[in-house]
Amino acid sequence: MEENIIKKYQDELNELIEYINDLFNFLPIPTCDLSPTFCIIQVNKAFEKLTDFDSLEITGESIEKLFLEKEKIKKIISLLQKEQELQNQELVLIKKNGEKIIVNTFWATRIKKEEIEGFLLAFIDITLLKKIQKEMEKEIKVKTRDLREKIIELEKFQKIAVGRELKMIELKNEIKQLREELEKLKSK
Answer for which of 8, 10, 131, 171 binds other proteins (CB under 8 A) is 10
Closer residue to other proteins, CB minimum distance, 23 or 162? 23
- Least Å distance, CB 13 to other proteins, is 4
Q: Residues 112, 116, 118, CA angle at the centre, nearest 5°?
A: 105
Using CB under 8 A as the binding rule, the residues of this chain from 104 to 143 that contact other proteins are 112, 115-118
108 or 124: whose CB is closer to other proteins?
Answer: 108
- Are 51 and 103 in contact by the 8 Å Cβ rule? The answer is no
Q: What Å distances lie between residue 149 and 43, 144, 146, 155, 156, CA to CA?
A: 53, 9, 5, 10, 11
Least CB distance from residue 87 to other proteins, whole Å?
Answer: 24
What is d(CA 166, CA 66) in angstroms, rounded to the nearest whole number? 70
Q: Which amino acid is at 152?
A: I
- Which of 29, 62, 151, 166: binder of other proteins (CB under 8 A)? 62
How far apart, in whole angstroms, are the C-alpha atoms of residue 183 and residue 165? 27
CB 146 within 8 A of CB 139: no
Which of 47, 109, 33, 44 is closest to 76 using CA atoms?
109
Q: Are 111 and 95 in contact (CB under 8 A)?
A: no
Q: Which of 27, 33, 94, 120 binds other proteins (CB under 8 A)?
A: 33
27 near other proteins, judged by CB under 8 A = no
CB nearer to other proteins: give 62 or 87: 62
Residue from 8, 26, 28, 60 in contact with other proteins (CB under 8 A): 60
Kindly identify the residues of this chain, within the stretch 72-101, that bind other proteins according to CB under 8 A: none
Q: Which residues make up the interface to other proteins (CB under 8 A)?
A: 10-11, 13-14, 17-18, 20-21, 33, 35-39, 41-42, 54-56, 59-62, 112, 115-118
